[in-house]
Amino acid sequence: MLNLDPAKLLVIAVVAVILLGPDKLPQVARQIGSAWRALGEFRHKMESEVRSSIPDLPSSADIARLARSPSALLDHLSKMDAPSATASSEDGLRNESPVTGVPKAAPDPVPPVTRPVPTPLPPNPPDPSLN
């Protein structure tokens, strides 16, 4: 998140003392602390609401790890269980329409993503003013 080493924190503290003065600095620090606490409580409340509505959501650490590493995300997606293309005899009843008893149509396969191939630009004609 933030990469604050001690030298950076010292510079921030010196600038804060110069700009705010020693008399207003404690009041501003309390306001910043209470705002930071309120933000943390709001984040915790929102996360708990989302997790209660989506119970199989991965942990926040897993989501952060997957967001940082595209290869980890692709690996995670490749390991997810895909629905079986063939239905067993027990699944045959669930694949039928409840009204007509006729088997449901299979969903259309997702077409592969294709990217357009860039065409090379034609070379620029020579500038006659350079002759």
Give residue limits of the domains in the chain.
29-76
Adjacent-strand bridge partners of 96: 103
Predicted pLDDT at 87:
44
Query: Distance between CA atoms of 126 and 123, rounded to whole angstroms?
Result: 9
Scan for tokens 């690996």, then name that residue.
Answer: 75
User: pLDDT tens across 31-58, in order?
Assistant: 999 999 999 999 999 988 988 888 888 7
> In terms of pLDDT, which residue wins out, 120 or 6?
6
- Which tens digit of pLDDT belongs to each residue from 62-95? 878 777 887 877 777 787 765 544 444 444 445 4
Quote the pTM value: 0.42
Q: For the beta carbon of residue 89, count every other beta carbon within 10 angstroms.
A: 6
Q: Report the pLDDT value the prediction gives residue 11, as an integer from 0 to 100.
A: 92
